[in-house]
Amino acid sequence: MSMDLASTQNQLGSAIMAAGIEAVLPKGTTMDHFIRCASIAMVQSKDLGEASQDSIIMALTMCAKDGLVPDNKEAALVTFNTKVKGLNGQRDEWVKKAQYLPMIDGVIKRARMSGQVASMAAKAVYKNDEFNYWMDENGEHYKYVPKFGDERGELMLCFAYAKLTNGELLIEVMTKADIDKVKAASKTSAYGPWVDWYDRMGCKAVMHRLCRRLPNASEIVQMCEQGMNMAFDPTTEKDITPPPTENYGEKLVNLFADKPADKYLPWLTKKLGHEILSLEDVTAEESVKVIEHMENAKA
């Protein structure tokens, strides 16, 4: 599919119309607006241009059914590699497929559509922000005062709250360590939204935990799990621990053990976008990305 915006709109618009997505578009959203948002997402992502059109249309259909727009605020389109079994004895191959990913604004929008939530939000809290959370006989309470400018410091936690129409206030808090456990359990922890939008994915993770406490929460919980590539079962979530970083480093060393450094170091520098003078310069997340790339290339 061409990556020129005008031609992409024409091609994608025809495919969206043929798929009948207009019938499930969210109330108040025009077909032109939906097509334009989807087309901009296509143009901005090289990977989406390489994804199969069937997977793109399926992702857009799911997005529309949930009442969201793929504008990178309510929802995003991302790609993932999936192995397709070869036919008639041919070897399996890896192909790119598009996937619909609800963002935190979209999850909040969907929750409000239930009619039982008066207000709802999720925020990332940084080191120099003021935040306090407590419970007493009158329920849950919090105080949040963000620090503006460039002096907020590192991300410390994310929290979410929901004020129900009956007046009840629900609050959930997740530390960065808690968020990293969720990230580590995702199949896409080393690339995509967990790398590009870590704070928003952290907010989505804590919103997911909050949504389990909402009335008629099943639909919203399902939306939160979409694109996380894991099931947020409350019993298994407690057992999630980040994989040991030294394993990735050892595996990377083993992969390059029989290769000359003057060949693979320039390749790693180009691949990762910063100068690599030795394998010690490669982070755990980058190691996962490189290892996956090399294994996919062999498949």
For residue 79, the SS3 value is: strand
Tens of pLDDT, residue by residue over 159-187, are 999 999 999 999 999 999 999 988 888 76
Please name which of 43, 65, 53 lies closest in space to residue 98, comparing C-alpha atoms: 53
Name, in order, each residue with C-beta under 8 angstroms of 266's C-beta and a sequence gap of 6 or more: none
Pairing of strands 130-136, 117-126: unpaired
- Does 81 score more than 80 pLDDT? no
Cα separation, 170 vs 238, whole angstroms? 21
**Which sequence spans correspond to the domains of the chain?**
5-101, 105-237, 245-298
pLDDT at 124: 95
Phi-psi region of 167 (alpha: psi -120 to 50; beta: other; left: phi over 0): left
Q: Return d(Cα 45, Cα 49) in angstroms, integer.
A: 7
Q: Per the confidence metrics, is the pTM higher than 0.85?
A: no
Q: Which of 179, 196, 41 is nearest to 122 (CA)?
A: 179
Q: Quick one: pLDDT at residue 246?
A: 42
Residues 55 and 99: beta-carbon distance below 8 Å: yes
pLDDT, tens digit (0-9, with 9 covering 90-100), for 20-78: 998 888 778 889 999 999 999 888 887 888 888 899 999 999 899 888 899 888 888 88
